[in-house]
Amino acid sequence: MNRSATSHTFIDSQAHTNFSVSQKYKVVLLGDQSVGKTSIINRFIFDTFDGKDHPTVGIDFISKTLYYDEKSVKLQIWDTAGQERFRSLIPGYIRDCAVALLVYDVTNKQTFLNMKRWIDDVRSHRGNDTIMMIIGNKIDLEHKRAVSKEEGENLAKDLETLFMEVSAKSSLNVSNIFQVIAAFLPGNESHRMHVYEENHLNVTNEPHNANINLIQDPPQTTDRQQESTKSCQC
């Protein structure tokens, strides 16, 4: 995608004095261990990928501001551990999220089959009051693919979520994830069709009309939760 070709492009920069004050929204990444949640975050925030598998410990978060049509959107992006032993921590971080990104590994069928469980977790705590996107990661490993794009699209349609395939390794579509979700936040409704067209999304992927709230202050974390490794690729 030629990001400079449109007036509605998000600008990834921290030095814009003419933009209005940003509103903050909480984005939570969920999914099984080693599907690439942290890799997606590292690619988006730092434009890095080290390919190593260091499982996230507990919960971690980092903020990123996007500038869009003289407005700014601040995303507080929460990285969660995929291991079962940390599952009990996750509901507390789902309850006030504006966006849930559900990630699976296209080379691992079981991580895809577990998507419905993750989505059920979100809806049990948030109902339809959150934007959800199913993300198939690692499409650079096409020769190892175990889940077709059509399967992902059909699941997203059935569960009424957005859908995108990405590669954290090559960076393909990673920034597009956040362009799309930001277009569904309050105040950006007029740009949704433009974003659909830019990212080749079918309008049938449009999720429920979510009642999105600004995030509150982050919940207190335990020492164990704060041990999350910034560079992990889980």
**pLDDT tens for each residue of 60-85:** 778 888 876 677 888 999 988 755 55
Among 9-23, 48-62, 99-113, 192-206, which stretch is predicted with the lowest mean pLDDT?
9-23
Q: What is the pLDDT of residue 29?
A: 94
Whether 41 shows a pLDDT value over 80: the answer reads yes
Q: What is the pLDDT of residue 92?
A: 73
Which of 129-133, 187-191, 225-229 has the highest mean predicted lDDT (pLDDT)? Answer: 129-133
Give how far Cα 32 sits from Cα of 20, 43, 78, 151, 158, Å.
Answer: 37, 19, 15, 18, 21
Is there a domain that residue 12 lies in? no
Which of 88-97, 163-172, 207-216 has the highest mean predicted lDDT (pLDDT)? Answer: 163-172
- Provide mean pLDDT across the span 201-220: 48
Among 13-17, 89-93, 126-130, which stretch is predicted with the lowest mean pLDDT?
13-17
Are residues 122 and 130 in contact, defined by beta-carbon separation less than 8 angstroms? yes
- Provide mean pLDDT across the span 27-42: 92
**Count of other CB atoms within 10 angstroms of residue 109:** 14
Is there a domain that residue 4 lies in? no
Is there a domain that residue 227 lies in? no
Are residues 105 and 35 in contact, defined by beta-carbon separation less than 8 angstroms? yes
Among 81-90, 192-201, 214-223, which stretch is predicted with the lowest mean pLDDT?
214-223
Query: Dmax over Cα atoms in the chain, in whole Å?
Result: 47
Whichever domain contains 63, its CATH number is: 3.40.50.300
Are residues 173 and 200 in contact, defined by beta-carbon separation less than 8 angstroms? no
Q: What is the pLDDT of residue 188?
A: 65
Are residues 198 and 3 in contact, defined by beta-carbon separation less than 8 angstroms? no
pLDDT, one tens digit per residue, over 137-183 is 999 999 999 999 999 999 999 999 999 999 999 999 999 999 888 88
Among 14-23, 136-145, 152-161, 221-230, which stretch is predicted with the lowest mean pLDDT?
221-230
Give how far Cα 145 sits from Cα of 108, 137, 140, 185, Å.
Answer: 8, 10, 9, 32
Token look-up 């490794």 returns: 229
Whether 222 shows a pLDDT value over 80: the answer reads no
Is there a domain that residue 221 lies in? no
Number of domains in the chain: 1
Q: Which of 202, 234, 199, 205 is nearest to 105 (CA)?
A: 234
Q: What is the pLDDT of residue 106?
A: 98
Is there a domain that residue 121 lies in? yes
pLDDT class for 214, splitting at 50, 70, 90? very low
Whether 1 shows a pLDDT value over 70: the answer reads no
Is there a domain that residue 8 lies in? no
220: left (phi over 0), alpha (psi -120 to 50) or beta: beta
Choose between 222 and 117: higher pLDDT. Answer: 117
Is there a domain that residue 233 lies in? no
Q: Which domain holds residue 114?
A: 19-209
Whether 232 shows a pLDDT value over 70: the answer reads no
**Count of other CB atoms within 10 angstroms of residue 187:** 13
Is there a domain that residue 120 lies in? yes
